[in-house]
Amino acid sequence: MKRALLFAMLSCIATTADAGQDCRSEILAPHRQAEAAAQALAVVERLEAMDAPIALVARVGTDLSKHGLRYSHVGFVVRDADDGRWTVIHLLNTCGTDRSALYAEGLVDYYADARVALDTAIVWLDAALADELARVLRDHAAARLHDADYNVIAHPRSDRYQNSTAWVLETLALAMQPGAPPDRRILQAWVEARGHRPTRLHIPYSKRIAGGLFSANAHFTDHPLSARLSGEYEVVTVDSILDWLERGDRVVHREDLQRPGPATR
């Protein structure tokens, strides 16, 4: 009887975990389009006021407030790239599946995809790091760090999976070491040795089982068993990246632009 129950439960997991989520096309309400575009222009104004080729831009795509976090996603915004005056280069999960891709997009598109709020942080880096970052993006060395196997909760030392924040952290590490090979394992070890501290998220059993047992984009298997049993997971977050950069004196200026978004009305 027990074996039959176990078989039934595991079969259920295997079937639905492969299914992924629908890639639904969302039609934004006109007022949301207007707000996203207004936030994009506000960011452009700040970017134009600074003499820098690149900055980090963080947004609120997911509500992480229960973990004490505000920003869930970050990308590089590059001046005068191929597509326009300002272009955001970042990694996005493909519609809730276990795959990801890198994108270059304008700031209007970037903020149109901010699901929770339009609040944003713009972070400018010291000139040497900014120049090197612009170079590793221009010559596509950063693209060689991309691993399309996506895991929303990827372990910071995972060489099997990657999420959007991990790609940003590894790209920063590549830019900090001119001439270093674009090798994820080496870069991950380097940032850890240089004091990057991943965020520890507590996800209790009840939430995990009720909330996400069947998520195609969540693979806990690259976390140690002790983490799975305790519910304490280490991940690279926007906060952990910015904290690391600030402690290393690599941030020259930061601005947070608050603007209510869809979830706040």
Partner 1 sequence: MRMRWWMMLVLAAAPALQAADPSAASRASVQASAQIVDGSAALVGAGSELTLAAVEIVGESAHLVLKGAQGSVTVSLRVSADTARVLAASVGVVVETVATTAGHLLIIGGESVAFLLSPEAAAHRHHRNWP
List the interface residues with partner 1, window 30-49 (CB under 8 A). Answer: 30-31, 33-34, 36-38, 40-42, 44
Note whether 215 binds partner 1 by CB under 8 A. Answer: yes
CB of 98 to partner 1, least distance (A): 11
Note whether 228 binds partner 1 by CB under 8 A. Answer: yes
The region of 49-57, 125-133, 176-184, 222-230 touching partner 1 under the rule CB under 8 A is 222-230
| Residue list 83-122, contact with partner 1 (CB under 8 A) | 83-87, 89, 91-96, 101-109, 112-113
Which of residues 52, 130, 152, 176 is near partner 1 by CB under 8 A? Answer: 152
What is the C-alpha to C-alpha distance for residues 227 and 233, in angstroms, rounded to an integer? 6
CB contact at 8 A, 40 and 108: yes
Note whether 54 binds partner 1 by CB under 8 A. Answer: no
Note whether 257 binds partner 1 by CB under 8 A. Answer: no
What is the C-alpha to C-alpha distance for residues 137 and 170, in angstroms, rounded to an integer? 12
Nearer Cβ to partner 1 (53/96): 96
Neighbours of 48 (CB within 10 A): 11
DSSP assignment of 96-146, as one string?
TSSBEEEEEE-HHHHHHT--SEEEEEEEEE-HHHHHHHHHHHHTTGGGGG-
Binding mask 64-83 for partner 1 (x = CB under 8 A): x-xx-x--xx---------x
What the block records as the tokens of 202 is 């507590």
| Cα distances (angstroms) measured from residue 102 to each of 44, 73, 137, 144, 159 | 22, 13, 11, 11, 17
